[in-house]
């Protein structure tokens, strides 16, 4: 049986894979495993109301209090949990996935995502039938829970971002910003926050009908934003995914600014201000080699983890680092929030650019991207490929040929019968040649 929790909560097609019964039992589990007071937020998906009703019923049936934040970014829920001294938080969202999907992710009392061990206990509780099948008496009468609307939830989150910049003596006066909120939760927050900081904001996709979230827009589809940047003659373009825990940007020329570049600019600024803990930036093995070189040249140590923001966060918490991120635009700035925060990342990036005296385009040049070639090879046994002496030898040969001017990453897919061969090099031809040599060898082995 597949594990219920993925890398970012429970996720699936709403009403078939992610059912109301699951939401109800997860609501109960939040009270049983986290505590009596739970902050609940959601993105703009049509299924959000349905799953929220079931989840809140579960919280109430277990004797808990549900603080309803309504439509709000995921990082806002993490913030509200701490601000309200709640026992935990739940977000109903499938992040960057299509509208028919939804998800449920939980935060502890400190606004952090739950460790695997706790998720496993919750999964066992849900599969066993929830509180009704636990053998414990169900709350009745005055022991039942209730829901409390949080009417100022959005305002609290907006001001958290605004104050973080104002506190640095920075204003965005004179800056023109193009913004794509992806028909998602950031429609309620990012435009207002950026305007309060003085920017002239041109926004698209800030309406929603529950069926358009992430559809050909937002951080995974930058074309509409690139067009808006051109039309508005903007200094920068900003795009969020559905629950706004990520951000991607574009320059005035329409060039993509991904998480590697955003993290590099922020890390350099933090080092300059003396607030870069341990002189270290955390990223994943999928970051571009150009990021590693840029940090090395600036005297910043880079620590790389497995792919997934949870692994980045684990490394940060274990060793006291304060900045970490992924190429996808999922950035964690522990000075400001306990999870990936698209709005906070955007305003801190722009504050860093302002302080540098450069344009966005100039600041982004700190990372000189290495060409990257990725080949997915279908195999019967991923482990056999990863353990093959012949494959290891081919990888070593490529690494020796590339030296410090490239790298090889061989990674089995977590969801498909595929091994991913990724090669970075100083030029496209070298990257393709080495990637194809290794991929062809894997195919020829028939593993």
* Range list of β-strands (E), 230-349: 236-240, 247-250, 256-257, 280-284, 301-305, 323-325, 331-333
State the Cα–Cα distance between residues 90 and 23, nearest whole angstrom.
Answer: 10
State the Cα–Cα distance between residues 136 and 123, nearest whole angstrom.
Answer: 18
User: Which residues touch 219 (CB under 8 Å, ≥6 apart)?
Assistant: 96, 180, 182, 239, 240, 241, 246, 247, 248, 328, 329, 342
State the Cα–Cα distance between residues 7 and 95, nearest whole angstrom.
Answer: 12
**C-beta separation of 190 from 343 below 8 A:** yes
Assign residue 216 a region (left: φ > 0; alpha: ψ between -120 and 50; beta: otherwise). left
State the Cα–Cα distance between residues 134 and 353, nearest whole angstrom.
Answer: 55
**C-beta separation of 182 from 239 below 8 A:** yes
Active-site entry in 47, 61, 93, 95: 95
**C-beta separation of 43 from 8 below 8 A:** no
**Cα dihedral value 368, 371, 409, 349, nearest 10:** 40
Is 95 an active-site residue?
Answer: yes
How many C-alpha atoms does 356 have within 13 Å on its Cβ side? 23
Residue (of 173, 160, 192) closest to 235 by Cα position: 173
State the Cα–Cα distance between residues 159 and 199, nearest whole angstrom.
Answer: 15
- If you count DSSP H runs as helices and E runs as strands, how many of each does the chain have, helices first? 15, 19
Give the Cα-Cα-Cα angle 188, 192, 197 (nearest 5 degrees).
Answer: 150
| Residue found under tokens 């003596």 | 169
Which positions are catalytic?
A: 95
């Amino acid at each position: 049986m597949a594990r219920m929790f993925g890398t970012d909560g429970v996720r699936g097609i709403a009403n078939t894979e992610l059912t109301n019964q699951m939401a109800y039992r997860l609501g109960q589990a939040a009270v049983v495993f986290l505590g009596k007071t739970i902050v609940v937020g959601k993105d703009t998906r049509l299924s959000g109301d349905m799953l929220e009703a079931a989840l809140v019923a579960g919280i109430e049936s277990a004797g808990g209090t549900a603080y309803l934040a309504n439509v709000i970014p995921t990082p806002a829920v993490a913030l509200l949990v701490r601000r309200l001294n709640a026992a935990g938080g739940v977000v109903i969202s499938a992040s960057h996935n299509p509208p028919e999907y939804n998800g449920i992710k939980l935060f502890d009392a400190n606004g952090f995502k739950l460790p695997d061990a706790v998720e496993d206990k919750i999964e066992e509780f849900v599969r066993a039938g929830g509180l009704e099948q636990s053998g414990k008496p169900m709350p009745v009468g005055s022991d039942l829970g209730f829901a409390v609307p949080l009417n100022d939830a959005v305002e609290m989150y907006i001001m958290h971002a605004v104050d973080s910049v104002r506190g640095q003596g920075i204003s965005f006066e004179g800056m023109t910003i193009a913004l794509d909120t992806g028909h998602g939760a950031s429609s309620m927050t990012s435009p207002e926050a950026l305007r309060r900081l003085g920017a002239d904001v041109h926004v698209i996709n800030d309406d929603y009908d529950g069926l358009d979230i992430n559809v050909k827009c937002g951080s995974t589809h930058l074309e509409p934003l690139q067009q808006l940047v051109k039309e508005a003659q903007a200094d920068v373009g900003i795009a969020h995914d559905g629950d706004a825990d990520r951000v991607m940007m574009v320059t005035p020329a329409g060039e993509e600014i991904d998480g590697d570049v955003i993290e590099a600019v922020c890390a350099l600024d933090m080092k300059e201000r003396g607030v870069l803990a341990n002189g270290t930036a955390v990223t994943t093995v999928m970051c571009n080699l150009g990021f590693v070189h840029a940090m090395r040249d600036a005297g910043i140590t880079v620590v790389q983890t497995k792919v997934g923001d949870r692994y980045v966060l684990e490394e940060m918490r274990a060793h006291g680092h304060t900045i970490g991120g992924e190429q996808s635009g999922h950035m964690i700035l522990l000075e400001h929030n306990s999870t990936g925060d698209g709005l906070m990342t955007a305003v801190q990036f722009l504050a860093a650019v302002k302080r540098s005296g450069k344009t966005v385009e100039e600041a982004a040049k700190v990372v000189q991207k290495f060409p990257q070639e990725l080949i997915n090879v279908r195999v019967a046994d991923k482990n056999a490929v990863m353990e093959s002496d012949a494959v290891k030898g081919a990888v070593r040969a490529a690494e020796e040929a590339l030296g410090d001017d490239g790298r090889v990453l061989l990674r089995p897919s977590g969801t498909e019968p595929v091994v991913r061969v990724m090669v970075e090099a100083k030029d496209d031809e070298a990257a393709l040649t080495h990637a194809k040599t290794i991929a062809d060898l894997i195919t020829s082995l028939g593993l």
